[in-house]
């Protein structure tokens, strides 16, 4: 260490050059760093989406989901296999171990899927979803204005906007929602087909065989070659109408003779509506996994501005969700806290040091350490986000500790009159820096060691707080290196020799402290009793503090989730959404825009039913609200929703919703999963569990998906009757699909547009029994002659996890702690809900995360304590003195626990990390004090004198380091931007703990040193 300090002071110009290079490199690293609101918390995850038009959930599960799942079992590093089977669609999610390469994972899935695909029904389409994450929904907009119909708007999105946005760097795909997807539709007339003796099979074959261009080869014509090209592809409706489907005594029967040919919409599986004004078309931009969120959003905005010039007259794109706004809000919040913390620290430096030049030298560590941190973040591939920059804010007060000790010691040496004048200036700085190097390095290493175990946290909490820990470690390491190299060089240029008057604040503190110390030494028994009582009370208070996983972060916007009757039609579902929008817009002026998405999206990433709606509420600026809090606003919306009968609802936020789904496959603070085989029994028991949860204090938005009550028109085919007429099951099912859902029979190429060609009848439940089916002999019979029709209730969806069926009951928790709520709920469910053999309840959601985090912290905290003790033992070479310093830790907890209790916060992961941070922050002050006691003792000073003189001389550095750290965190207490809720508990704990630990360090440690600092024979 001495050699490093000596090198820095002998090569001062080189050090200045290194500083300039650091500034340039740090600035460059910051400009190139990816920017996001939060760290990417998603696991390595691959989704498979398979669509099969017209197929009910039980059939989807049996014929598509189960075969694919069987094929996927056994892939290395797989941690979770989840699926949901719904009408016409299955969504299968595979999670892999942390650190698994996403490209390798997708390759494994692709290989297994290609094997399974051969066993899937003909007509199944889909595959692996785009390489995005559940948090990849970056940008959402609707197409407004102009005189375009819903079909024309959807066409514009599909064939102009979507292809253009997919070229943007960082965009994985653009999802299309709402509107009407254009198709060439052939609508057969059953009466005309019967009259001309044309079957559905003939229509299908005619359309399939008359829509193709092809090449026939090459002909030679003299010296030239002619390429032979046959054109038979459909281009217009007239081409479809003129296709020959049969022959009646030499007279061709055209499709136009037996069917209507028109431009029509494909069957819709979802819709989007806005502000109670009607349906709209929405584009949803999905970012590529690992993409720079801030840059991607900027690129998308630039591309949309380019496109806007070429849009039809009056058409505009209205953005209603822009992740860039959240990114900017989160970063401006943390930047403001950072700047305020720096301002607090600089003011305190001036007050404590009383020397502007010295304060400037110490303050220089802040920008330099920050720039060093940016370089390390860039090297390790971290993004600048709320958590990583939040770590820098937390560290601000600690960054100056080493520089403060160095500069203060240099000032002390400079002020020692004749002694300082006899030695060269640089040598004095060298001696002053070398003298404090050991405790400075030791103190900084203790703090770094405390934060390193946080990297062992798993899951969501690990991904959120690992950037915090890494940033603090980088910043402290940079500050330590700079304090021993660059800071002495700056001191040599800026600090002056000569006596320095002690500043007013230090003198005032000294006058207050010394009488208190003398009284405490004289009344040590009272001091010990007081400390013991405080510890006992602290334990009692701690038992009163509830536990939760993570404070809910305010993202700004609200998502209102609606669930209606399972059998509702899409049109009625949209009408109900529009009515809800009108009610909210009329009664809650704080809501600026409302966009409702019902049903499934085009890609199938969010496979909701026609009865499920996600309603995005974009809010007015907070200063215009009538109420003070978001909770009060949600309560106001609840009152409005109470007037909408037959609708279950819950509240969440865009990112919160996706994180919950990603981690547990369901949404909500608490997700109760019931596993079993019989769907009817699962649904019945889920209702019982929901009723129990509703009866428990603190439960809100208790919600179980209505998984039965879907109306089915079930056709039981009579094989004997069908066989007698020359029909088989497949022929009948093909006729039914063509009549209701429609058969896709290829595409019509219109320039770059690929428009589906479909055959779809016009049937209603009233005339379905009399639907005519063509026989091989040309006759036709009604459907009722070969099948029995009856209305039955069926399943809405079937969820599976690790190949087992399950249902979910979810609940949010308000007004009490999460762990207490779940403990009570577990007991109540166990008592009141009787489960048959083979049925199993699992508790998930945020509670599952909390339990995992608590288990990991139970390992991390003891490891941190052991590492601190080992480092203390290495520093002092004495178990006795290491134990003395260690005794400060429970005393630091006193302030942290009381601060948490008074503020009304719960014991969450951020609060736990605050206590871990406190271990490292509180110990170095004791190290500084004890080290100086040992130095004085080595000169032969009496023990009783050592504790008074040593405490008086080290009062200023101890108070400075504690005050700087505490004041550096104060902006976090009062921050109001997105993410401030996560950082506040940490700041509360550390500030409270510093108050108690500093007070007790300065009072108790001198007494303890006198009593136990040395063995009895040493004292003699």
- Tell me the angle at which helices 386-414 and 356-363 cross, rounded to the nearest 10 degrees: 140
pLDDT higher than 70, residue 22: yes
- Extract the tokens encoding 609: 């039913």
Taking residues 454-471, what's their average pLDDT?
84
3-class DSSP string for 42-102: CCEEEEEEEECCCCCHHHHHHHHHHHHHHHHCCCCCEEEEEEEEECCEEEEEEEECCCCCH
- Tell me the angle at which helices 909-938 and 425-451 cross, rounded to the nearest 10 degrees: 140
172-176, 311-315, 408-412, range with the lowest pLDDT: 408-412
Taking residues 306-317, what's their average pLDDT?
89
Which band of pLDDT confidence, cut at 50, 70 and 90, is reported for residue 1020? very low
The string of pLDDT tens digits covering residues 757-799 is 999 888 666 667 777 787 877 778 888 889 988 888 888 888 8
Comparison of pLDDT for 397 and 672, the residue scoring more? 672
pLDDT higher than 70, residue 665: no
pLDDT value for 420: 54
| Class of CATH domain 53-123 | alpha beta
pLDDT higher than 50, residue 540: yes
In angstroms, the CA 231 to CA 680 distance is 56
Planar angle of CA 91, 96, 98, nearest 5 degrees: 140
Number of neighbouring beta carbons within 10 Å of residue 896: 27
pLDDT higher than 90, residue 912: no
The string of pLDDT tens digits covering residues 400-419 is 888 888 888 888 888 775 55
Phi, psi values for residue 624, rounded to 5°: -95, 0
Q: Do domains 53-123 and 502-544+878-1019 have the same CATH topology?
A: no
Taking residues 531-535, what's their average pLDDT?
91
pLDDT value for 460: 77
Comparing CA positions, the residue from 1018, 917, 98, 961 lying closest to residue 452 is: 917
pLDDT higher than 70, residue 530: yes
Query: What average pLDDT does the chain have?
Result: 87
Q: Which CATH architecture has domain 1-32+354-498?
A: Up-down Bundle (1.20)
pLDDT value for 1018: 53
103-112, 369-378, 639-648, range with the lowest pLDDT: 639-648
Please, are residues 38 and 979 in contact by the beta-carbon 8 Å criterion? yes
Which band of pLDDT confidence, cut at 50, 70 and 90, is reported for residue 85? very high
In angstroms, the CA 539 to CA 534 distance is 9
| Class of CATH domain 558-648 | alpha beta
Q: Which among 198-207, 573-582, 679-688, 879-888 has the top mean pLDDT?
A: 573-582
Taking residues 950-961, what's their average pLDDT?
86
Which band of pLDDT confidence, cut at 50, 70 and 90, is reported for residue 499? low
In angstroms, the CA 962 to CA 874 distance is 24
In angstroms, the CA 949 to CA 324 distance is 57
The string of pLDDT tens digits covering residues 962-1006 is 888 888 888 888 877 777 788 889 899 999 999 888 887 899 889
- Extract the tokens encoding 974: 């009062």
Comparing CA positions, the residue from 660, 684, 656 lying closest to residue 671 is: 660
The string of pLDDT tens digits covering residues 707-764 is 777 888 888 999 999 898 888 898 888 888 888 888 888 899 988 889 999 998 886 6
* Domain map (residue ranges) of the chain: 1-32+354-498, 53-123, 502-544+878-1019, 558-648
The string of pLDDT tens digits covering residues 596-618 is 999 888 777 778 888 889 999 99
Fold of domain 502-544+878-1019:
Multidrug efflux transporter AcrB transmembrane fold (1.20.1640)
pLDDT value for 755: 92
Instruction: Give the torsion sign (CA, 452, 395, 374, 381).
Output: positive
The string of pLDDT tens digits covering residues 210-261 is 998 888 889 998 889 999 999 889 999 999 999 999 888 888 999 999 999 9
- Extract the tokens encoding 65: 């989901």
187-196, 651-660, 934-943, 1006-1015, range with the lowest pLDDT: 651-660
Instruction: Give the torsion sign (CA, 559, 560, 565, 570).
Output: negative
pLDDT value for 150: 92
Which band of pLDDT confidence, cut at 50, 70 and 90, is reported for residue 356? confident
């Amino acid at each position: 260490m001495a050699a490093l300090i000596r090198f820095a002071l002998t090569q001062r110009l080189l050090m200045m050059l290194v500083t300039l290079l650091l500034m340039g490199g740090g600035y460059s690293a910051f400009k190139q760093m990816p920017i996001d609101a939060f760290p990417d918390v998603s696991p390595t995850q691959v989704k498979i989406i398979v669509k099969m038009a017209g197929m009910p959930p039980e059939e989807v599960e049996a014929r598509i989901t189960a075969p694919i799942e069987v094929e996927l079992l056994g892939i290395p590093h797989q941690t979770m296999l989840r699926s949901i089977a719904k009408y016409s669609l299955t969504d299968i999610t595979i999670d892999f171990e942390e650190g698994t390469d996403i490209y390798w994972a997708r390759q494994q899935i692709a290989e297994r899927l290609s094997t399974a695909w051969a066993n899937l029904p003909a007509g199944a389409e889909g595959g692996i979803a785009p390489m995005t994450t559940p948090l990849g929904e970056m940008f959402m907009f609707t197409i407004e204005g102009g005189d375009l119909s819903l079909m024309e708007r959807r066409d514009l999105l599909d064939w102009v906007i979507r292809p253009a946005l997919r070229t943007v760097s960082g965009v994985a795909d653009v999802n299309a929602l709402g509107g009407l997807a254009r198709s060439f539709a052939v609508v057969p007339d059953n009466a005309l087909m019967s009259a001309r003796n044309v079957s559905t099979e003939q229509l299908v074959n005619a359309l399939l065989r008359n829509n193709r261009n092809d090449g026939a080869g090459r002909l030679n014509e003299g010296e030239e070659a002619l390429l032979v090209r046959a054109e038979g592809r459909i281009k217009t409706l007239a081409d479809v109408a003129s296709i020959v489907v049969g022959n009646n005594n030499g007279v061709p029967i055209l499709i136009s003779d037996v069917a209507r040919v028109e431009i029509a919409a494909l069957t819709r599986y979802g819709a989007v509506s806005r502000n109670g004004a009607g349906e709209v078309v929405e584009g949803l931009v999905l970012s590529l996994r690992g993409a720079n969120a801030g840059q991607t959003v900027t690129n998308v905005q630039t591309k949309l501005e380019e496109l806007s010039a070429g849009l039809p007259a009056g058409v505009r794109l209205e953005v209603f969700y822009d992740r860039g706004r959240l990114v900017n809000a989160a970063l401006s919040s943390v930047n403001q806290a950072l700047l305020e913390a720096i301002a607090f620290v600089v003011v305190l430096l001036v007050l404590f040091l009383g020397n502007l030049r010295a304060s400037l030298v110490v303050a220089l560590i802040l920008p330099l350490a920050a720039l060093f941190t940016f370089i390390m973040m860039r090297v390790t591939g971290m993004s600048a986000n709320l958590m990583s920059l939040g770590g820098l804010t937390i560290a601000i007060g600690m960054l100056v500790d080493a520089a403060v000790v160095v500069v203060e010691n240099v000032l002390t040496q400079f002020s020692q009159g004749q002694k300082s004048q006899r030695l060269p200036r640089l040598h004095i700085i060298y001696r002053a820096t070398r003298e404090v190097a050991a405790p400075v390095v030791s103190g900084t290493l203790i703090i770094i060691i405390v934060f390193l175990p946080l990297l062992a946290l798993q899951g969501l909490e690990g991904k959120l707080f690992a950037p915090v820990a890494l940033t603090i470690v980088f910043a402290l390491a940079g500050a330590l290196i700079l304090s021993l190299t660059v800071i002495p060089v700056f001191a040599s240029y800026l600090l002056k020799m000569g006596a320095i008057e002690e500043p007013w604040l230090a003198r005032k503190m000294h006058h207050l402290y010394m009488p208190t110390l003398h009284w405490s030494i004289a009344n040590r028994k009272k001091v010990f009793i007081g400390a013991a009582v405080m510890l006992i009370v602290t334990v009692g208070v701690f038992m009163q503090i509830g536990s939760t996983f993570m404070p809910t972060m305010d993202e700004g916007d609200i998502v209102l989730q609606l669930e209606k009757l399972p059998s509702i039609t899409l049109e009625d579902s949209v009408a109900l959404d529009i009515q809800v929008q009108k009610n909210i817009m009329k009664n809650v002026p704080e809501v600026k825009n409302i966009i409702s998405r019902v049903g499934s999206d085009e890609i199938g990433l969010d496979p909701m039913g026609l009865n499920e709606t996600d309603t995005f509420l974009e809010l007015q600026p907070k200063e215009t609200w009538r109420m003070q809090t978001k909770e009060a606003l949600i309560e106001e919306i609840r009152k409005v929703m109470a007037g909408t009968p037959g609708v279950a609802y819950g509240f969440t936020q865009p990112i919160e919703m996706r994180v919950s789904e990603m981690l547990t496959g369901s949404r909500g603070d608490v997700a109760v999963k019931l596993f079993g085989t019989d769907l009817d029994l699962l649904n019945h028991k889920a209702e019982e569990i929901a009723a129990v949860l509703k009866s428990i204090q603190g439960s809100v938005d208790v919600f179980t998906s209505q998984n039965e009550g879907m109306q089915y028109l079930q056709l039981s085919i009579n094989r004997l009757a069908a066989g007698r007429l020359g029909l088989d099951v497949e022929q009948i099912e093909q006729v039914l699909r063509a009549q209701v859902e429609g058969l896709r029979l290829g595409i019509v190429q219109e320039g770059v547009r690929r428009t589906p060609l479909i055959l779809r009848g016009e049937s209603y439940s009233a005339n379905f029994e009399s639907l005519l089916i063509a026989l091989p002999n040309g006759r036709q019979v009604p459907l009722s002659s070969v099948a029995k029709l009856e209305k039955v209730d069926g399943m809405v969806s079937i969820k599976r996890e690790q190949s087992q069926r399950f249902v979910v009951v979810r609940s949010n928790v308000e007004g009490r702690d999460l762990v207490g709520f779940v403990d009570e709920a577990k007991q109540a469910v166990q008592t009141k809900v009787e489960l048959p053999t083979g049925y199993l309840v699992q508790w998930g959601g945020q509670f599952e995360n909390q339990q995992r985090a608590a288990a990991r912290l139970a390992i991390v905290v003891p490891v941190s304590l052991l590492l601190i003790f080992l480092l203390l033992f290495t520093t002092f070479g004495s178990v006795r003195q290491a134990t003395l310093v260690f005794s400060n830790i429970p005393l630091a907890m006193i302030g942290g626990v009381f601060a948490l209790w008074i503020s009304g916060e719960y014991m969450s992961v951020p609060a736990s990390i605050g206590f871990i941070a406190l271990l490292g922050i509180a110990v170095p002050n004791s190290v500084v004090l004890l080290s100086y006691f040992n130095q004085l003792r080595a000169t032969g000073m009496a023990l009783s004198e050592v504790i008074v003189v040593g405490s008086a001389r080290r009062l200023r550095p101890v108070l400075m380091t504690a005050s700087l750290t505490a004041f550096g965190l104060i902006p976090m207490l009062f921050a109001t931007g997105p993410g401030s809720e996560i950082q506040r508990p940490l700041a509360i704990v550390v500030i409270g703990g510093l108050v108690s630990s500093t007070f007790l360090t300065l009072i108790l440690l001198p007494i303890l040193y006198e009593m136990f600092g040395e063995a009895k024979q040493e004292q003699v």
